[in-house]
A and B are shown apart, each in its own frame.
Chain A
Amino acid sequence: MRITDIDKSLFTNVWIIAETIGGRVHPVTYELIGAARGLADARSSKVAAVVIGGEADASLFAYGADLAIVVNAPEFSGFNDELECAALNYLIEKHKPEIVLCAATARGRALIPRVAVQTVSGLTADCTGLAIDPETGDLLQTRPAFGGNIMATIRTSNHRPQMATVRPNVMKALPPDPGRSGEVIRETLLGGAVKNAKRVIETVRGGEAQINLGEARVIVSGGRAMKGPEGFNMLKRLADKLGGAVGASRAAVDAGWIAYPHQVGQTGQTVQTALYIACGISGQIQHLVGMQSCGCIVAIDKNPDTPMMRLADIAVTGDVFEIVPAMTEALQ
């Protein structure tokens, strides 16, 4: 809503939209609560976790939420953007949160722009920093654009709620306190059927599509140097040791050695993992824009002087077919 029509102080509390994955609370939910906690404390307000199509897990409180707002009904079992949006519109209208944070996952990025438009709110994508003006409650949202080549600071001073998405692994979860508890508010949707809701026919987990690049903490990524699918099997063994996922340059994807969902870069995924290990990837700009915001970058290349080797925090000169197995071995 536009603030010229309403009073800012009517809007209180920081909401996070809880996300589940395979029936469990998605870890990004705890990271959102961690970020929300700091903002709510600065405003002496509360953190509420909104759970749609599930129940309030006790862990939400342990990680710092004060309330859980639960909307549960069988029709929410699949990911039905139109229905979830209608539910959120209703809750926002009723409870008037000051801030709404949502995970920048495939689901979150589909759902929350619909809510932002229909509630006339500003929405800032993929925030890496969230600060708050304790007096006005205005968020200072920092986000990368142009593939990480520019950091923009965005304000939504004249609208409430202020909405932002955050990628997994960007914010820090607080240490859980199992003794903490909170209040559960149950809501039932009024107003009948939502026009144009979709029919979710099947939901398939895993398989080739299960790559979790966006959620991995570690990515072991391979380029043209991998020579073929066997090279990627070698990377997979290292990734498994590190509890990570396998990524790839476009050269490797175009060669057919690994499927497109693994591609990192301008026309693939943008990732922000804690650790990115680039194996035989030269570091052309279209690749760098997809990974240069990662926490620690390791490059392994025969050529010590590639853009990736110069960008990296740790640059290992050598043959990937020797270094990678040696590293996998060293981790035994």
Chain B
Amino acid sequence: MRIVVCVKQVPGTSDAKIDPETKRIIREGIKSVMNPFDLYAIEAAVQLRERFGGEVIALSMGPERASAVIREAMAIGADRGALLSDRAFGGSDTWATSYALARAVDTIDTMSKASGGVDLVICGKQAVDGDTAQVGPGIAAHLGYSQAAYVEAVREVKQDSITVQRMNEDGYDVCEIAFPAVITVVKGLNQPRVPTLRGVLAARAADVPIWKPADIGAALDKIGLDASPTRVVKTAPPEPRGGETARVEGTPAESAARLVQLLKARELI
């Protein structure tokens, strides 16, 4: 089985600040980490490889320092990785990001056709910064692969398909999708392993190739800011939560009565 895992580097805290002058998100001085959901994606891939053999490839798009998340993925079991990094990718929205990642998956598939190509792409359910959850299904759409989002369990793997349990607001469903496929995974799926010292050292020494648009056959008019249908035209801090905090104190019965009264006044109950 050949599995590509998409991992994104994100700010280590969601406590993002906006520069009051430039109105841009301040990224300086903020530690970068792997998107927490992507850890479950790697673990899922590594477990599948342990059962069925094959190879796990970590893929990321971002600035050169994003190679850190590829190494992190390798430290917990990915066999190799690649980073898409070039100014031309900058400013990509989810349409253009998923196009670039899809081109890279297709390139890996072509290069490995002799040994079966790519079977599965695994993404996290969403990235904690952009927060759209659109990139996974987007990759599937560009490649014409089948897809399953919000996967909470892998039920069965066959030669040419995978059966997964997808969670939704109403319960769950079980579906079988043919390879090649894209799945996006939620936290409950597994317990990511901690890296071993040996893994960390090996990952540090590993070569992480940097791929430019030409390396993956990406059309320049389909990547980057200009190719992105959506455009962030303004960012601002959220409106402050209106008003003062109403303080409620007293005996439990008094407090409860007062609370109910306040909620009724707001037509909440």
Known contacts A22-B170, A156-B230, A311-B241; decide if A196 and B145 are in contact (CB<8 Å). Answer: yes
CA distance A209 to B168 in the complex (A): 8
Binding-face segment, B50-58, B59-67, B75-83, B136-144: B136-144
The proximity string for A residues 194-215 relative to B, scoring 1 for CB distances below 8 Å and 0 otherwise, is: 0111111111111101111111
Q: Which of A80, A196, A210 contacts B171 (CB 8 A)?
A: A210
Contact A146 B25 (CB under 8 A): yes
Contact yes or no, B176 A201, CB < 8 A: yes
Q: Are A151 and B269 in contact (CB under 8 A)?
A: no
Q: Is A50 an interface residue (CB 8 A)?
A: no
Which A residues are CB-close (under 8 A) to B175?
78, 80, 198-201
- Summarize A's interface: helix, strand, loop or mixed: mixed
Interface-central residue, A124, A206, A297, by most chain B CB under 10 Å = A124
Question: Given that A123-B134, A149-B15, A327-B259 are known contacts, is A113 also in contact with B141, CB under 8 Å in the complex?
Answer: yes
Q: Which residues of A contact B242 (CB under 8 A)?
A: 313
- The segment out of A34-42, A185-193, A317-325 that lies at the interface is A317-325
B252:A21 contact, CB within 8 angstroms: no
Contact of A314 among B13, B150, B234, B262 (CB under 8 A): B262
Contacts of A43 in B (CB 8 A): none
Q: Are A106 and B256 in contact (CB under 8 A)?
A: no
Give A299-332 as 1s and 0s: 1 = Cβ < 8 Å from B's Cβ atoms: 0000010000111111111110011011101110
Nearest-Cβ distance from residue A258 to partner chain B, whole angstroms: 12
Interface string of B102-138 (1 = CB under 8 A from A): 0000000000000000000000000011111111111
Given contacts A204-B171, A266-B128, A330-B256, are A125 and B236 in contact (CB under 8 A)? no
Contact A198 B25 (CB under 8 A): no
Number of interface residues of B (CB under 8 A): 85
CB contacts (< 8 Å) of B168 on chain A: these are 79, 105-107
B160: min CB distance to chain A, Å: 11
* In the complex, chain A residues whose CB is within 8 Å of the CB of B135: 113
Chain B CB within 10 Å, residue with most, of A121, A150, A293: A150
Indicate whether B205 reaches chain A with its CB closer than 8 angstroms. no
* Beta-carbon contact of A105 and B230 below 8 Å: no
Whether B238 contacts A296 by the Cβ 8 Å rule is no
Q: Which residues of chain B are within 8 angstroms of A158 by Cβ–Cβ distance?
A: 229
* Assembly CA distance A123 to B255 (angstroms): 46
Of B92-100, B196-204, B210-218, the one with at least 4 CB within 8 A of chain A: B92-100
On whether the beta carbons of B149 and A314 are closer than 8 Å, the reply is no
A285–B235 CB distance below 8 A:
no
Docked complex Cα distance between A215 and B146 (Å): 27
Q: Is the CB of A147 within 8 A of B249?
A: no
Chain A 65-91 interface mask (CB, 8 Å, partner B; 1/0)? 000000000000011111001000000
Residues of B within 8 A of A314 (CB): 245-246, 248, 259, 262-263
A-contact bits for B8-19, CB 8 A (1 contact / 0 none):
000101111110
Q: Cβ of B167 < 8 Å from any Cβ of A?
A: yes
B219 within 8 A of A: no
Q: Say whether B245 contacts A322, CB under 8 Å.
A: no
Mark A129-150 against chain B: 1 for CB-CB distance below 8 A, else 0.
0000000000000001111111
Whether A120 lies near B95 (C-beta < 8 A) is yes
Q: Which of B134, B245, B248 is in CB contact (< 8 Å) with A116?
A: B134
Check B233–A154 contact: CB distance below 8 A.
yes
Q: Are B137 and A149 in contact (CB under 8 A)?
A: no
Give the chain A neighbours of B178 by CB distance below 8 A.
Answer: 196, 198
Taking the nearest CB of chain A, how far is it from the CB of B263, in angstroms?
7
Residue of A nearest to B269 (CB): A242
Q: Is the CB of A21 within 8 A of B170?
A: yes
CB within 8 Å for A150 and B16 given contacts A125-B131, A199-B176, A314-B262: yes
A59 at interface, CB cutoff 8 A? no
B268 at the interface (CB under 8 A from A): yes
Cα distance A198–B181 in the bound complex, in angstroms: 10
B139 to chain A, nearest CB (A): 9
Residue of A153, A204, A266, A323 near B255 (CB, 8 A) is A323
Partner of B263, one of A21, A105, A275: A275
Q: Least Cβ distance of B148 to chain A in Å?
A: 7
Given contacts A106-B167, A314-B246, are A125 and B133 in contact (CB under 8 A)?
Answer: yes
10 contacts between A and B (CB under 8 A): A21-B169, A78-B175, A106-B166, A106-B168, A110-B150, A113-B134, A123-B134, A267-B36, A267-B37, A295-B268
Spell out A's residues near B (CB within 8 Å).
2, 21-22, 78-82, 85, 105-107, 109-111, 113-118, 120-126, 144-159, 195-207, 209-215, 218, 242, 259-261, 263, 266-268, 270, 274-275, 285-286, 289, 292-293, 295-298, 304, 309-319, 322-323, 325-327, 329-331
Q: Which 4 A-B pairs have the closest CB atoms?
A: A122-B229, A326-B256, A117-B141, A110-B149
